[in-house]
Amino acid sequence: MINQALRRREFLETCIVRGLLVGAAASSQVHLLAAWEEARAKARKPTPPEDLGPFYKKGAPNTANLRVAREPGLPLRISGRILDTRGDSVHGARVELWHADQRGFYDVQGYRYRAKLALDGATDYQVETIMPGHYPDRPVQHVHYLITAPGCKPLITQLYFATDPFFEGDPEKNYAKSGLVLHRECVRPVTLLDENTSPRSAVAFDLILEKD
Ligand SMILES: [Fe+2]
């Protein structure tokens, strides 16, 4: 998208320099270029796809609070916007997410740490949950996502945490080790907060969808 915008901008600039945009006033040309500049600045790369994994389960509840009373785990808030590759907000998305508990176990009997958010009019999402644990087959903390939205391609992806010991303090260098994480962009920084007496964490993960 960005390259395409650049090519169009270069084409327009060439046309203007060569006087090929005949009939277009100079002010119109300036506005045209400004529009392309704006489009280029807003353009976003699509969120990379990752595997669905074996623990997806249909029927998760539409709830933004996944925490379970008296369950151990560092409280975690995940939030983000739903955008398309033009940088425009996407309405009507359904965001499913699921992850393991602190010990690394998925709830396959029920729906603990599973949600399907119906955003309807909203174009961003937020859930309160806990930091997932590691499990032997995939010893990297992660949250699975399945996102659908009208007019957009479905997206299956995963969120990872830069603070995970798996990355040995350097996600840039170590994200691809063992082949468990496919895309650096899915490893997000973690804000650690210590409000009053209880520590908690927060992560921002925008979801960028491709148009149909
Ligand atoms: Fe998983």
Burial group, residue 134, by CB count within 10 angstroms (0-12, 13-18, 19+): middle
Q: Which residues, other chains included, contact 123 with Cβ-Cβ below 8 Å and sequence gap of 6+?
A: 81, 82, 83, 89, 90, 91, 93
Q: How far is the CA of 133 from the centre of ligand 1 (A)?
A: 10
Three-class DSSP category at 39: helix
Quick check: 15 pLDDT over 70?
no
Q: 43: CA distance to ligand 1 center in Å?
A: 30
Confidence (pLDDT) at 19: 52
Gap from CA of 136 to ligand 1 centroid (Å): 11
CA of 138 to the centre of ligand 1 (A): 7
Of residues 102 and 11, more confidently modeled: 102
176 CA to centre of ligand 1 in angstroms: 16
Q: How many CB atoms lie within 10 A of CB 25?
A: 9
Question: What would the two tokens of residue 22 be?
Answer: 């005949």
Å from CA of 4 to ligand 1 middle = 35
- Look at domain 75-209 and name its CATH class: mainly beta
For the chain, give the number of residues. 212
Rg (CA), the chain: 21
Res 22 pLDDT > 60? no
Residue 28 in this model has a pLDDT that exceeds 80:
no
Q: Which of 126, 50, 61, 120 is nearest to 89 (CA)?
A: 120
Q: Where are the domains of the chain?
A: 2-42, 75-209
Residue 124 Cα, ligand 1 centroid: separation in angstroms?
Answer: 23
Confidence at residue 17, expressed as pLDDT on a 0 to 100 scale: 47
Name the 3-class secondary structure at 31. helix
How far away, in angstroms, is 100 Cα from ligand 1 center? 7
Ligand 1 geometric centre to CA of 92 (Å): 26
* Ligand 1 centre distance from Cα of residue 141 (Å): 8
The average pLDDT across 21-48 equals 79
